[in-house]
């Protein structure tokens, strides 16, 4: 079986972390798997983890009234799911559901929050990674909102 | 050596401004607003040969003339295929044509996709919306000569699952082990089991060697700008990215200047351009 160290050393989110930080992450990590259709989390639940996806597809969904349950984005191998654990009130704002069998590393956000408070270098390192991710998602969302295909090729 | 007997006259090339008559053989509804027409020559002259990426000027009697990419297989000697999205007067008239109706065609015009140049390399084809139509002939050629190329990838984005063109064909392509097809939509009901997100988000996820990749991109301009940026970020050189600038044009032969963009005439210097050459002009407002 692959060790958590190995998996974290290979995942794009954590592969270039300094060794002490990588070890610290291992201490907060657990291997998880979700069957197709299973929810990783639901809107409003406490957000105490985030997930490094190793395999599978997860859809991030919102219940949008008349449009029903709508998928906003999907995430797959190599991506990171969830940042609500970082910001009060630490609650999920969306649902996340495995579209197919999904394997991930769950990182304990509560434990990491405390460690980041105690070691700001670690906190800065993690926040830089999350800020980049948020920027990329915001860019993608802006393009999605532009509805580019409607304006036509 | 002159192969023409002296008393024979060279057949005159059709005048570039004179449309030739074609008859609609078949109409297929692709999506709510997009239709594919199969056309055959109505004067027995057959169809002119074309290269992947070229377009015709399609003339609908009583409505007008618009540029349309040729979307069939260059190896099929019989038929001309166009896929048209209804956006305005002429495209709407094209979408209303029925089998047996006549249209006039001028063409083919324009520069081709660099299929030959891509031999021996990985090929990444990125299409957005109706942009898959001009790229479909490339896919036919890549698959017909599959061993000539490295990895072959098609990345295709549309607004919703209902806007996906050529669904049966895509399913067939997806089942091939030597062709990676990645489709994504901007929004979807929860029942959709594919990817949701803009087309750029797929670029970091598919496997190809950026150092030896030729990329061909067609879609809305804003999408092509972001795709080119993402390809560059992955390490694909600007001079191996090609895009198709489908801005509006009139004469298609570089006379009228309607489609002039800086020093370039889209109709005769394009519509397919190398990205490093057209990049400074991308983002300039519609002409
Ligand atoms: C080389 C080339 C190849 C093309 N290939 C295809 C194809 O395969 N299938 C297809 O459906 N369309 C294609 N187009 C676009 C097509 O030519 C236009 O949609 C058509 O000319 C619109 O004419 P219309 O009379 O229907 O609409 P109009 O009434 O002229 O315009 C309707 C709306 O569409 C906008 N518009 C018109 N043309 C364009 C354009 N080229 N780019 C952006 N916005 C535009 C106008 O600003 C207006 O808002 C191609 C264009 C070019 C230049």
- At B251 the pLDDT is 79
Q: Are B83 and B71 in contact (CB under 8 A)?
A: yes
Q: In angstroms, rounded to a whole number, what is the distance separating the alpha carbons of residues A46 and A25?
A: 21
pLDDT, averaged in runs of 10, over chain B (287 residues): 46 70 96 96 86 96 95 92 96 97 95 96 97 98 97 97 96 96 92 92 94 96 93 96 85 79 80 90 65
| Mean pLDDT, all residues of chain A | 92
**Ligand 1, residues B66, B94, B112: which to mutate, most atoms within 8 A of Cβ?**
B66
Provide the token pair at B25: 């053989």
Give whole-number Cα distances, B230 to A127, A140, B130, B197, B280, in Å.
23, 12, 21, 14, 17
Alpha carbon of B274 to ligand 1 centroid (Å)? 21
Question: In B, residues 81-120, which contact A (CB 8 Å cutoff)?
Answer: 85, 87
- At B1 the pLDDT is 44
Please give the residue range of the domain that contains residue A76: 4-151
Consecutive H or E run containing A74: strand A69-76
Alpha carbon of B249 to ligand 1 centroid (Å)? 9
- At A60 the pLDDT is 95
Chain A residues with CB under 8 Å of a chain B CB are: 57, 59, 61, 67-74, 76-78, 97, 99-100, 140, 143-144, 146-153
- Closest Cα partner for A56 from A8, A2, A101, A11? A101
Burial environment of residue A80 by CB neighbours within 10 A (0 to 12, 13 to 18, 19 or more): buried
- At B5 the pLDDT is 46
Give whole-number Cα distances, B271 to A59, B167, B222, B260, B261, in Å.
37, 26, 16, 11, 11
Question: In B, residues 33-72, which contact A (CB 8 Å cutoff)?
Answer: none
Alpha carbon of B66 to ligand 1 centroid (Å)? 7
Q: Are B131 and B199 in contact (CB under 8 A)?
A: no
Q: In angstroms, rounded to a whole number, what is the distance separating the alpha carbons of residues B94 and B128?
A: 21
Taken as a whole, chain B contains a residue count of: 287
Give me the DSSP letters along B62-120: TTEEEEEE--S-TT-SS-EEEEEE--SHHHHHHHT--TT-EEEEEEEESBPP-TTTTTT
A67 to chain B: which residues are within 8 Å by CB? 189
Please name the residue of chain B whose CA is at the shortest distance from the CA of residue A147: B159
Architecture (CATH level 2) of domain B20-109: Beta Barrel (2.40)
CA-proximal residue: ligand 1, atom 2 (nearest):
B246
pLDDT tens figures, A66-87: 778 889 999 999 999 999 999 9
Specify the ligand 1 atom closest to the Cα of B249.
53
Task: Give strand ranges (E) for A109-146.
Answer: none
| Peptide bond between residue B90 and the one before it cis (omega within 30 degrees of 0) | no
CA B223 to chain centre: 15
CATH code of B116-244, in short, is: 3.40.50.80
B220-232 burial code (b ≥16 CB/10 A, e <16): bbebbbbbbebbb
Q: Are A53 and A78 in contact (CB under 8 A)?
A: yes
pLDDT tens figures, B232-244: 999 999 999 999 9
- At B13 the pLDDT is 54
B220 to chain A: which residues are within 8 Å by CB? 148-149, 151-153
**CATH number, position A48:** 2.60.120.10
Instruction: Write the residue in A76, A100, A149 that is nearest to B128 by C-beta.
Output: A149
Instruction: Write the residue in A71, A143, A153 that is nearest to B130 by C-beta.
Output: A153
Q: Are A88 and A82 in contact (CB under 8 A)?
A: no
With a Cβ cut-off of 6 Å, ligand 1 is lined by: A 152; B 55, 66-69, 83-85, 87-92, 130, 133-134, 246-249, 271
Provide the token pair at A133: 């991710």
Contacts of A16 (CB under 8 A, 6+ apart): none
pLDDT tens figures, A25-47: 999 999 999 999 999 999 999 99
Its pTM stands at 0.89
Please name the residue of chain A whose CA is at the shortest distance from the CA of residue B220: A153
Q: How many domains does chain A have?
A: 1
- Whether complex ipTM tops 0.95: no
Q: In angstroms, rounded to a whole number, what is the distance separating the alpha carbons of residues B215 and A147?
A: 23
Cβ of B160 under 8 Å from any chain A Cβ?
no
The domain spans of chain B are 20-109, 116-244
Q: Are B121 and B165 in contact (CB under 8 A)?
A: no
- Closest Cα partner for A153 from B223, B140, B70? B223
Is the Cβ pair A143, B226 closer than 8 Å? yes
Instruction: Write the residue in B193, B194, B196 that is nearest to A73 by C-beta.
Output: B196
Alpha carbon of B277 to ligand 1 centroid (Å)? 23
Dihedral angle of Cα B188, B189, B192, B193, to the nearest 10 degrees: 90
* Collapsed DSSP state (helix, strand, coil) of residue B48: coil
- At A17 the pLDDT is 93
Q: Are A74 and B197 in contact (CB under 8 A)?
A: yes
pLDDT tens figures, A95-143: 999 999 999 999 999 999 999 999 999 999 999 999 999 999 999 999 8
């Amino acid at each position: 079986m692959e060790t958590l160290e190995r998996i974290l050393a290979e995942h794009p989110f954590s592969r270039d972390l300094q060794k002490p930080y990588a070890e610290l992450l291992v201490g907060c990590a657990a291997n998880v798997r979700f069957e197709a259709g299973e929810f990783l989390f639901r809107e409003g639940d406490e957000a105490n983890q985030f997930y490094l996806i190793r395999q599978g597809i997860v859809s991030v969904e919102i219940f949008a009234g008349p449009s029903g349950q709508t998928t906003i984005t999907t995430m797959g191998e190599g991506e990171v799911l969830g940042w609500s654990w970082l910001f009060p009130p630490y609650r999920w704002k969306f649902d996340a559901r495995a579209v197919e069998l999904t394997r991930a590393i769950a990182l304990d956000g509560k434990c990491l929050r405390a460690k980041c408070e105690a070691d700001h270098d670690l906190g800065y390192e993690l926040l830089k990674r999350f800020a980049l991710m948020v920027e990329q998602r915001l860019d993608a969302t802006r393009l999605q909102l532009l509805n580019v295909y409607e304006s036509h090729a | 050596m002159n192969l023409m007997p002296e008393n024979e006259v060279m057949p005159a090339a059709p005048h570039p401004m004179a449309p030739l008559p074609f008859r609609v053989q078949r109409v297929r509804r692709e999506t709510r607003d997009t239709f594919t027409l199969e056309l055959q020559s109505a004067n027995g002259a057959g169809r002119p040969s074309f290269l992947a990426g070229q377009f015709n000027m399609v003339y609908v009697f009583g409505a007008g003339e618009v540029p349309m990419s040729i979307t069939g297989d260059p190896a099929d000697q019989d038929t001309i295929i166009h896929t048209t999205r209804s956006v305005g007067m002429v495209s709407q008239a094209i979408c209303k044509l029925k089998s047996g109706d006549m249209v006039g065609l001028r063409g083919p015009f324009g520069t081709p996709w660099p299929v030959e140049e891509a031999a021996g390399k990985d090929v990444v084809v990125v299409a957005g919306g109706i942009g898959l139509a001009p790229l479909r002939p490339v896919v036919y050629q890549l698959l017909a000569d599959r061993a000539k190329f490295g990895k072959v990838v098609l990345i295709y984005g549309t607004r919703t699952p209902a806007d996906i063109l050529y669904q049966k064909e895509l399913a067939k392509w997806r089942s091939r082990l030597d062709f990676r097809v990645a489709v994504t939509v901007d929004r979807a009901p929860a029942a959709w089991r594919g990817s949701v997100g803009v087309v750029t988000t797929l670029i970091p996820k598919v496997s190809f060697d950026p150092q030896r990749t030729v990329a061909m991109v067609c879609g809305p301009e804003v999408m092509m700008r972001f795709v080119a940026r993402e390809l560059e970020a992955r390490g694909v050189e600007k001079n191996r990215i090609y895009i198709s600038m489908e801005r509006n044009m009139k004469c298609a032969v570089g006379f009228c200047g309607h489609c002039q963009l800086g020093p370039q005439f889209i109709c005769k210097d394009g519509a397919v351009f190398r990205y490093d050459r057209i990049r400074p002009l991308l983002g300039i407002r519609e002409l």
